[in-house]
A and B are shown apart, each in its own frame.
Chain A
Amino acid sequence: MTNPLVLKSPGTHAQPRGNRVGAVLAGLGAALAVLVWPLVWSNDFTLTLGILIAINLIGAVSLHLIVRTGHVSLGHAAFMGLGAYATALSLTRWHLVFPFDLLAGAAVPALVALLIGPLLLRLAGKYFVLVTFMVGEVIRLTFIQWSSLTGGANGLFGVIVPVPGLDSLLHFYYFALAFCVLCVGIVVRILTSELGRAIDSIREAQRVSECSGVPAIRMKVVMFSIAGALVGVAGGLQVYLLKYVDPSAFTIVQSLNFLIMNVIGGMDHLAGAVIGTVFMVVLPQALEQYVNVQQILFGLILVAVMIGMPGGLMDAVKRLRSLSRGRSGEER
């Protein structure tokens, strides 16, 4: 039987050597573009889009880390919520100063993940999906019910951003971008290291990799925890942006959004998560002019992409690449 959660072969370190220079150039070009565009062409709208992409990208990429271990979490937004609440509480009640509030935002979800991970990560693929969905709901209900701490359904208001200068969207964009690059960098570093290869081996064949001395469960718990910490930072950044936090932002809808970002881009490659995030943040805005049918079109596009490209948008990229090399069909 084929396990639907088992992905195709990983792509992170399968680059042919001749491609290296091109990849480095492309990376440099992208970095330059990301850094320079707000100075050339920016208004509040595009800057906000940029910030949203940066925050969501942290979430999507951290979920990608879990996905690479062969698990799909439907409770990722709840961990983002834990980070957001921890940050907001640090600023309003616990009086922590700047880097420590975001550190608390990373620590709380990481700790929760560390505690429940060993129980949850023993479960086979689809059961993990279900149980993370339930855990996410329980965490969200806790946000609503524990009103003495979390302010209940109204949430926490009056967060004062501890970093000066973030009132300007341009500054905020670079602030968020710095964290985004840091988090994506951590994930890239993990995936391209020996650790990443161990994760890939666990996903492809857990028993075999265990026999080769890879502590599978421990490895998965660590990844789950790191992913929690990263998405917690994304939650903290969201608090910085909105200056309040309420439970409605961390429902199953947001968890599904993170998952869609991964699947629509392509689950077997980190670049898929990046493409998916840009797609998911920009597309609804691009459809804005058709207000009435915006959501309908968005839904239909999701359906069409999933039917036409079961491997996500990375499928299209791969197809284009093999076409340009003039050996179409050979690679697939």
Chain B
Amino acid sequence: MFSATLLGQVLVNGLSLSAIYVLVALGFTLLFGIMRVVNFSHGAFAMLGGYALFLLYGKWHLPYLLAVPLAALGVAALAMVLEYLVFRWFYQKMMQSMIGLLGLNMALVYSAVLLWDVYERSIPPAITTLISVGGVLLPADRLTVVAIAIVALGAFWLFMTRTRFGLAMRAASQDVETAEAQGMDTAALYRMAFFIAIFLTALAGGLYAQTYSLSPFMGDRPLIVAFVVVILGGMGSIPGAALGGVLLGFSESFVSTFYGSAVSSFASFGIVILLLIFRPWGLLGTKEAMRA
């Protein structure tokens, strides 16, 4: 049962799953942390990312490493229109944002049904080879997913910690009013955070669609995952989202391989409920955030 190949594959699956989860959850937590927006249309943007990658890579045959970021950029650029039309009205309004963005999610998903039909498509894998590491065969496409995610996460981390904009964003996520009082243009900051969040989500959506399958309804799973990961890590906490994504990705990969997916769902939900009851601010959130 515990052969080296199986373990290696479970490990790589866990890694790639974690990578995708972290990307999705980061966008979600960024929107919640800074704008107090519960983005129920998050899955729809992941779905759009999938279709964008399908178009650029599957149809137009752009080089893979160019198509992946371009697809995410395209979706994020399109999303800026929605930011102007829809999202900016919901900033700092948690309840209203939940319902309104749920409506947006329906509109986007069923527009996709209208445009591209309901049937499932697949995005051709970039590499089909198996890499042998010390006698253990590992699928190279999964490793590519991990590599792309690590580059994106690294860039995001550098942006958040080494630039003035990142600093401003972290400040705004702690206390918007004080940040405004220090002269930060929060409207511009919101737009930037929104762009980054949707970019990460669309990127994850493309990779997710390639790993599993592409359909207008594929966004439901990433949305639930983002929700769970963000609860696990702490609402609005960026390192928490990263930790939560890795934990969920690995435990899902391990538990569902060895005990089946039903046990896996029960275990992850059960643990998160217990965590919420005894440590509601999440693994890495701060207790102060309770008051917000």
Interface string of A119-159 (1 = CB under 8 A from B): 11001101100110111011001001100000000000000
Instruction: Specify which chain A residues have a CB less than 8 angstroms from the CB of B276 in the assembled complex.
Output: 123, 127, 130-131, 134
Tell me the dominant secondary structure on chain B's binding face.
Answer: helix
Tell me the dominant secondary structure on chain A's binding face.
Answer: helix
Q: Is the CB of B231 within 8 A of A123?
A: no
Q: Is the CB of A130 within 8 A of B95?
A: no
Looking at B59-67, B73-81, B107-115, the stretch in contact with chain A turns out to be B107-115
Q: Is the CB of A260 within 8 A of B93?
A: no
Q: Is the CB of A298 within 8 A of B99?
A: no
Residue A4 at the B interface, CB < 8 A? yes
Cα-based distance from A307 to B85 in the complex (angstroms): 10
Instruction: Specify which chain A residues have a CB less than 8 angstroms from the CB of B265 in the assembled complex.
Output: 137, 141
Cα-based distance from A298 to B100 in the complex (angstroms): 11
Cα-based distance from A302 to B41 in the complex (angstroms): 13
Cα-based distance from A293 to B113 in the complex (angstroms): 10
Cα-based distance from A1 to B178 in the complex (angstroms): 12
Q: Nearest Cβ distance between residue A246 and chain B, in whole angstroms?
A: 17
Instruction: Specify which chain A residues have a CB less than 8 angstroms from the CB of B95 in the assembled complex.
Output: 4-5, 72, 263, 267
Q: Nearest Cβ distance between residue B259 and chain A, in whole angstroms?
A: 13
Residue A296 at the B interface, CB < 8 A? yes
Q: Nearest Cβ distance between residue A66 and chain B, in whole angstroms?
A: 14
Residue A65 at the B interface, CB < 8 A? no
Cα-based distance from A144 to B269 in the complex (angstroms): 15
Q: Is the CB of A138 within 8 A of B36?
A: no
- Nearest chain A residue, comparing its CB with the CB of B40: A256
Give 11 A-B contacts (CB < 8 Å), ordered by A residue: A119-B277, A134-B231, A134-B273, A137-B265, A141-B262, A293-B114, A296-B106, A299-B108, A302-B104, A306-B99, A310-B96
Query: A interface vs B, CB < 8 Å?
Result: 1, 4-5, 72, 119-120, 123-124, 126-127, 130-131, 133-135, 137-138, 141, 144-145, 252, 256, 259-260, 263-264, 267, 292-296, 298-303, 305-307, 310
